[in-house]
């Protein structure tokens, strides 16, 4: 048993290297994301949210990266469109999300984030969605026991193993399937590796990740939000009528010990027993790799009033059972209009684009009807309703 453990440590040590990030370098990625709700079983009736931005990464050391989001744009698509529609033609609005943040690493794996104290929970979760695209464990640091494990080795670029990996969707069992990509595939699909010259004499490598939610050390409110559910039992998607399918594909150039992340694509689908309810797509693509100069302002010492927000798992906003009776800038809760009159209650902030009547009935019961609604939540993309007993 001791010899097997020693062999595992030796094999993992064989691929230890500089990883994805080199100091005195600036990596710039283009981000595009869209989340859309299926209004019917076809793919021709969709509404949703799209966003675009740029992400820069400035490695300070093997243990610390400084990130920054710039040119962030977002927009709602409230008219029905088809899935194959070019969403890039939709009009977007600017959103300021430009305060630098810190990414804390441990042997190439992202362990936690630090952000400015003024960063809201909505913005924190948006950062976690983005940074999860860069979580790559080519050293199998978090690997778990599995009879079919083929751990990474320096003398080969194929591997297959299970890890317990923290991402925005939870700290859950994740299967890594790593294999080289022939050059002709990259030539036919340049979006997979937009800077192929960085490969040099090495290889293009695909890292395919799939996740199961039957084995999690830490469940995620992201599953609740994306499904539009508020009860904690919805975390275990397989035990409810909702099912989540998550796939991630990362393309790197180089070797498993020294590489550059060229692209990272995640696709989530939330389904019930009959059809897809919600689809979620995030794509991060490398735009440039340049030597850094005069970036002294992007150091942890110069980033004041920072707080560590833990790992990449989504922070779910829990709302009180009885909504507050005052309006705050963040929650924008409705207030009871007449204490002595009909009983009115405001719902919590729901995502997944529900109807107003669904909000009231789901949160308070079938006898409640909506009076009015307004936008809420991150980027005002959620919906909140003021409800009243229909018999009153």
- The contacts of residue 197 (CB under 8 Å, 6+ apart) are none
Q: What pLDDT score does 377 carry?
A: 57
The SS3 assignment for 2 reads helix
Q: Domain ranges for the chain, please list them.
A: 8-310, 319-392
**Chain CA centroid to CA 382, Å:** 17
Q: What pLDDT score does 157 carry?
A: 83
Place of tokens 């778990």: 144
Of 182, 153, 151, 311, the closest CA to residue 251 belongs to 182
**pLDDT over 50 (residue 5):** no
pTM over 0.95: no
How many percent of the chain have pLDDT more than 70?
70
**Between 6 and 277, where is the model more confident?**
277
What backbone phi and psi angles, to 5 degrees, belong to 253? Answer: -120, 140
Neighbours of 45 (CB within 10 A): 14
Q: What pLDDT score does 333 carry?
A: 38
DSSP letter assigned to residue 107: T
Supply the mean pLDDT for the chain. 78
**pLDDT over 80 (residue 238):** no
- Rounded to whole angstroms, the Cα distance separating 350 from 229 reads 8
Q: What pLDDT score does 81 carry?
A: 60
What residues does 245 pair with on adjacent strands?
Answer: 269
Q: What pLDDT score does 176 carry?
A: 96
Torsion angle in degrees (nearest 10) through CA of 40, 45, 49, 50: 130
**Residue 322 banded pLDDT, cuts 50, 70, 90:** very low
Mean pLDDT of 325-338: 35
Half-sphere exposure of 55 (CA within 13 A, CB side): 30
**Between 51 and 48, where is the model more confident?**
51
The SS3 assignment for 293 reads coil
Q: What pLDDT score does 324 carry?
A: 31
Mean pLDDT of 32-61: 80
Mean pLDDT of 224-231: 51
**pLDDT over 50 (residue 13):** no
For 138-177, what is each residue's pLDDT tens digit?
Answer: 999 889 988 888 999 888 889 999 999 999 988 999 999 9
Sheet hosting strand 368-376, strand order edge to edge: 344-346, 382-389, 368-376
Query: According to DSSP H, which parts of the chain are helical?
Result: 2-13, 121-131, 183-188, 221-227, 356-364
- Rounded to whole angstroms, the Cα distance separating 249 from 237 reads 22
**Between 353 and 72, where is the model more confident?**
72
CATH class of 8-310: mainly beta
Half-sphere exposure of 36 (CA within 13 A, CB side): 26
Mean pLDDT of 297-303: 67
DSSP string, 196-259: GGGGTTSEEEEEEEEEEEEEEEE--HHHHHHHT--SGGGGSGGGSS-EEEEEEEEEEEE-SSBE
**pLDDT over 80 (residue 349):** no
DSSP string, 308-354: EEESSS-------SS--SS--TTT-----S-TTSS-EEE---B-S--
């Amino acid at each position: 048993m001791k010899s097997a453990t020693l062999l595992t440590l030796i094999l993992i040590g064989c691929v230890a290297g500089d990883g994805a990030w080199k100091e005195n370098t600036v990596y710039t990625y283009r981000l595009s994301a869209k989340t859309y709700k299926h209004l019917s079983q076809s793919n021709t009736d969709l509404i949703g949210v799209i966003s675009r931005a740029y992400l820069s990464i400035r490695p300070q050391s093997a243990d610390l990266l400084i990130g920054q989001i710039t040119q962030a744009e977002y927009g709602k698509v409230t008219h029905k469109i088809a899935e194959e529609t070019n969403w890039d033609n939709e009009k977007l609005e600017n959103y300021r999300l430009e305060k630098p943040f810190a990414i804390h690493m441990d042997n190439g794996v992202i362990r936690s984030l630090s952000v400015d104290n003024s960063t809201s929970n909505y913005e924190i979760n948006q950062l976690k969605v983005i940074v999860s695209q860069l979580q790559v464990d080519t050293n199998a640091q978090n690997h778990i026991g599995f009879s079919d494990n083929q751990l990474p080795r320096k003398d080969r670029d194929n591997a297959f193993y299970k890890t317990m990996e923290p991402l925005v969707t939870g700290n859950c069992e994740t299967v890594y399937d790593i294999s080289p990509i022939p050059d002709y595939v990259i030539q036919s699909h340049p979006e997979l590796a937009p800077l192929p010259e960085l490969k040099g004499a090495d290889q293009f490598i695909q890292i395919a990740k799939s996740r199961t939610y039957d084995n999690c050390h830490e469940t995620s409110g992201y599953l609740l939000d994306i499904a539009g559910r508020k009860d904690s039992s919805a975390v275990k998607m397989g035990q409810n009528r909702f099912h989540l399918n998550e796939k991630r594909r990362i393309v790197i150039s180089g070797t498993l010990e020294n590489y550059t992340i060229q692209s990272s694509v995640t696709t989530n689908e939330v389904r019930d027993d009959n059809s897809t309810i919600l689809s979620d797509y995030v794509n991060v693509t490398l735009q440039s790799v340049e030597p850094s100069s005069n970036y002294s302002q992007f150091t942890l010492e110069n980033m004041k009033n920072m707080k560590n927000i833990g790992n990449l798992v989504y922070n779910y906003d829990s709302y009180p059972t009885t909504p507050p009776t005052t309006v705050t800038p963040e929650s924008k809760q409705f207030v009871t209009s007449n204490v002595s009159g009909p009983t009115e209650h405001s719902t919590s902030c729901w995502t997944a684009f529900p109807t107003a009547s669904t909000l009231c009935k789901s949160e308070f019961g079938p006898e409640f009807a909506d009076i009015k609604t307004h936008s809420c939540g991150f980027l005002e993309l959620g919906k909140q309703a003021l409800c009243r007993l229909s018999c009153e």
